[in-house]
Amino acid sequence: MKTDWIAILALSFLVVVWGSAFGLTAVALEGFSPVEVSFGRTGLAAIVVALVAVASGQGLPDTLAEWRWLALLGIVGLAAPVTVLSWAQLSVPSSVAAIFISSVPLFILLLARLVLKEPVSRRKWLGFAVGFAGLLWLAGPSALRQIGAGGQTLGQAALVLTALGYATGAIVIKLMPEIPPFRATAGTMISGTLFLAPFGFSAIGTAAQVPWPVLLSLLALGIFPSGIGQLIRYFTVRRRGPVFVSVVGYLLPIWAGLVGFFLLDEPLTLHTVSAYGIVLAGILIARDRA
């Protein structure tokens, strides 16, 4: 089978923009509340994607059936998990949050089997288990101790719900009828924004009072991970399926490690290299034979 380079490039883009979202969220939370962060990034993304949808000729959803599916996706797979994730990052360190969110592939495997009736071989289960073990090793003993630390129980439970929400969104995309990707993503973002508006509309007033790095972080969250990233995600899930896109969860910590080494002058230890090797081994085991 010919290598699908378009899907691979799309996957790589998602790793970069979503891998940077944890840090951007942490900065944005210095001036905005969790629901304001969620509303701001979703609303900004809705504007960007709606403009792209109209300019491309696909336009906005124009039937009740489309709006029903996209409202479900916008609430369950976007607005709710993004808000819960922002709230969880108030009490849970980013490294620990990344471990929980990296469990999304495990939820997708389970839902793909239960809902889509897709076969999941023992080899894939083994590969994902090895990959997740690599992520735990990458986080290090201190992060593993923090997982069971007192005072973080609610935040950890929130992160599990976040992972389940993201996985559910991937399954909804696979189940919904064929909708042009720009139109579908615009409808999803608009639905999520309307759902969050009663709770996070105060972000507009807060924006005039926060330092510019905080505001720029929120703008970047809306344009890249939530806007362009969602367009690429929808396209890639439709092209290759939710299990293929789930590999992103394993690669996010690797991207964060490279950024730390090249831009933040963080040491690249043997422990880190061995963790990368375990994660990559899991991906190789779980990949399709083709």
Q: What is the mean pLDDT of residues 35-57?
A: 94
Identify the band that residue 41 occupies on the pLDDT scale cut at 50, 70 and 90.
very high
Average pLDDT score, the chain: 82
Position 244 scores a pLDDT of 82
Q: What is the pLDDT of residue 93?
A: 66
- Alpha-carbon span 43 to 48, nearest angstrom: 9
Triad 39, 180, 105: Cα angle to 5°: 60
Query: Residue 193 — very low, low, confident or very high, per pLDDT cuts 50/70/90?
Result: very high
The beta strand positions in 1-76, using DSSP E, are none
Q: What span, in angstroms and rounded, lies between the C-alpha atoms of 100 and 148?
A: 13
The CA distance from 4 to 7, in Å, is 6
Calpha distance 94→12 (Å, rounded): 21
Q: How many CB atoms lie within 10 A of CB 9?
A: 12
pLDDT given for residue 141 in this prediction: 59
Q: Which of 38-42, 142-146, 182-186, 256-260 has the lowest mean pLDDT?
A: 142-146
Least confident interval from 71-85, 142-156, 204-218? 142-156
**What pLDDT does 268 receive?**
63
> What is the rounded CA–CA span in Å between residue 156 and residue 153?
5
pLDDT higher than 70, residue 290 = no
Q: Are 163 and 16 contacting, i.e. CB atoms less than 8 angstroms apart?
A: no
> Residue 146 in contact with residue 156, Cβ under 8 Å?
no
Q: 28 by DSSP, 3-state: which?
A: helix
Q: How many CB atoms lie within 10 A of CB 284?
A: 11
Cite the DSSP H helix spans in 224-269: 229-240, 242-245, 248-262
- Dist. CA 35–CA 188, nearest whole Å: 18
pLDDT of residue 160: 79
- pLDDT tens-place string over residues 205-236: 999 899 998 999 899 999 998 888 878 887 88
Lowest mean pLDDT among 79-93, 165-179, 222-236, 259-273: 259-273
Distance from the first to the final alpha carbon of the chain: 6
Q: What is the pLDDT of residue 57?
A: 94
Structure tokens at 56: 């491309």
Grade residue 140 by pLDDT with cuts at 50, 70 and 90.
low
Find the mean pLDDT for residues 248-254. 76
Averaged pLDDT for residues 77-95 = 86
DSSP category for residue 115: T
Q: How much is the pLDDT for 256?
A: 67
pLDDT: which is higher, 153 or 67: 67
**Mean pLDDT across 68-81:** 95
Both structure tokens of 173? 């995309």
Residue 152's pLDDT band (cuts 50, 70, 90): low
Q: How many helices (H) and strands (E) does the chain have?
A: 16, 0
pLDDT tens readout for residues 236-246:
887 888 778 87
CA angle 25–29–35, rounded 5-degree value: 90
Contact 168, 87 (CB under 8 A): no
- Confidence category of residue 195, pLDDT binned at 50, 70, 90: very high
Please compute the mean of the pLDDT values over residues 47-57 and round it to a whole number: 93
**Res 89 pLDDT > 90:** no
DSSP structure string for 79-108? IHHHHHHHHHTTTS-HHHHHHHHTTHHHHH
Q: Confidence class of residue 264 from pLDDT cuts 50, 70 and 90?
A: very low
Mean pLDDT on 179-193:
92
Higher-confidence position of 267 and 4: 4
